[in-house]
Amino acid sequence: MNDKAPVYQAANGKPNLLSGMQPSAGSLHLGNYLGALVNWTKMQDDFNAYYCVVDLHAITVPQDPAELRANTRRTAAQYLAAGIDENKSALFIQSHVPAHAQLAWVLNTITGMGEAGRMTQFKDKSQKNGVDSASVGLFTYPILQAADILLYQPKAVPVGEDQRQHLELTRDLANRFNSRFGNTFVIPEAHIVKETAKIYDLQVPEAKMSKSAADPKGLINLMDADNVITKKVKSAVTDAEGSIRFDRENKPGVSNLLGIYSLISGMSIAQLEDNFAGAGYGALKGELAEALVAHIAPIRNRAEELLSDPAELDRLLAKGAAQANELAEQTLATVYDRVGFVKAQ
Ligand code: TYM
Radius of gyration of the chain (CA): 21
Q: 218 near 285, Cβ under 8 Å? A: no
| Region 146-173 average pLDDT | 97
Cβ–ligand 1 distance for 35 under 6 Å, the answer yes
In this predicted structure, the answer to whether residue 222 has a pLDDT above a threshold of 90 is yes
Q: Which residues partner with 93 through β-bridges?
A: 53
**What is the percent of the chain where pLDDT is above 70?**
99
| Region 260-267 average pLDDT | 96
Q: What is the pLDDT of residue 132?
A: 82
Q: What is the pLDDT of residue 3?
A: 55
In this predicted structure, the answer to whether residue 5 has a pLDDT above a threshold of 80 is no
Distance CA 19, CA 334 (A): 22
Identify the weakest region by mean pLDDT among 42-56, 125-139, 253-267: 125-139
Of residues 7 and 285, the one with the higher pLDDT is 285
- Atom 20, ligand 1: residue with shortest CA distance: 160
**What is the percent of the chain where pLDDT is above 90?**
91
Cβ–ligand 1 distance for 191 under 6 Å, the answer no
In this predicted structure, the answer to whether residue 136 has a pLDDT above a threshold of 80 is yes
In this predicted structure, the answer to whether residue 162 has a pLDDT above a threshold of 60 is yes
Burial of 182 (0-12, 13-18, 19+ CB in 10 A): middle
Q: What is the pLDDT of residue 128?
A: 79
Cβ–ligand 1 distance for 232 under 6 Å, the answer no
Which long-range contacts link 263-270 to residues 24+ away (Cβ below 8 Å)?
A: 263/34, 263/38, 263/195, 263/196, 264/288, 264/291, 264/292, 264/295, 265/291
In this predicted structure, the answer to whether residue 2 has a pLDDT above a threshold of 70 is no
Q: pLDDT-derived band of residue 191, with 50, 70 and 90 as boundaries?
A: very high
In this predicted structure, the answer to whether residue 85 has a pLDDT above a threshold of 80 is yes
Q: What is the pLDDT of residue 4?
A: 58
In this predicted structure, the answer to whether residue 17 has a pLDDT above a threshold of 80 is yes
| Region 198-214 average pLDDT | 95
Q: What is the pLDDT of residue 215?
A: 95
Distance CA 15, CA 109 (A): 28
Cβ–ligand 1 distance for 37 under 6 Å, the answer no
Burial of 265 (0-12, 13-18, 19+ CB in 10 A): middle
Q: What is the pLDDT of residue 26?
A: 95
Distance 324 CA to ligand 1 centre (A): 20
Catalytic positions, written as ranges:
125, 208, 211
